[in-house]
Amino acid sequence: MPIYNLSDLVFTSPFFSAMDCVLHKEQAIYCSSELTSGLRAYTEMRNRKVRSAQELKARCGEAWYKANIVEVNENAALDFARYVCKQAGGDAVINPGPLKVPGWDQREYLAFWEELIRTRVKAVRFNKNWQFSSGCTFEFVVATKLEIPTLDAEGSKIDFKTAVGSIQDALLKFDGFDTKKLQANLERLTKHSINLRELGTATKKISS
């Protein structure tokens, strides 16, 4: 079941249609990278002695945040997508960074990418430092729930235990900062694992 309900959000179908124009009904590789949050943002918060992205923007300005966090992250995401393209063997590769939709907030973007991963993606590749990003960790939860392969920057599988440990380490590294979204995604991931174990136990009891 989707985390976000598309019917509750402001969406226009042409965005999915545009993807279909490129994908030609083929499944793509999705490249998950830090964009508006992540290690770079948390490091700047620590350096400037603030605790949240909102405080960082208030201190340095929206223009500074865009130039020094978002645009730098977008360039790194583009480099990563190009790297994956070279390894993809002709498979389509999706980089979410360039998508800009007036009027959408993070909730709309996450819901859009969740639906895209659910319907048009066969594997998700995670750029380095993905565990510090609220968007990347959300996408890891989505891919895990859908049983879509989750791979690191070099193409090796990221298993559940490694993912949980990585997110926990990220939370410890920036303890005391605003990490609510990272915590929420970690809880979603562990809850999904618990539900699977309970389902497995119930199935065994029924079969026996």
Mean of per-residue pLDDT scores for the chain: 90
pTM of the model: 0.90
Answer yes or no: is 182 within a domain: yes
pLDDT, position 14 = 82
DSSP 93-151: EE--TT---TT--HHHHHHHHHHHHHHHEEEEEE-TTGGG-HHHHHHHHHHHHTT--EE
pLDDT, position 12 = 67
Bridge partner list, 29: 93, 123
Answer yes or no: is 1 within a domain: no
Range(s) of the domain holding residue 156: 28-207
Please check whether residue 29 is in contact with residue 121, taking contact to mean a CB–CB distance below 8 angstroms: yes
Tens digits of residue pLDDT in 185-196: 999 999 988 765
Answer yes or no: is 5 within a domain: no
Answer yes or no: is 12 within a domain: no
Answer yes or no: is 20 within a domain: no
Structure-token pair, residue 112: 């859009």
Amino acid identity, residue 195?
N
Report the share of the chain in percent with pLDDT over 90: 76
pLDDT, position 13 = 75
Indicate the number of domains in the chain: 1
Tens digits of residue pLDDT in 106-127: 888 888 999 999 999 999 999 9
pLDDT, position 206 = 43
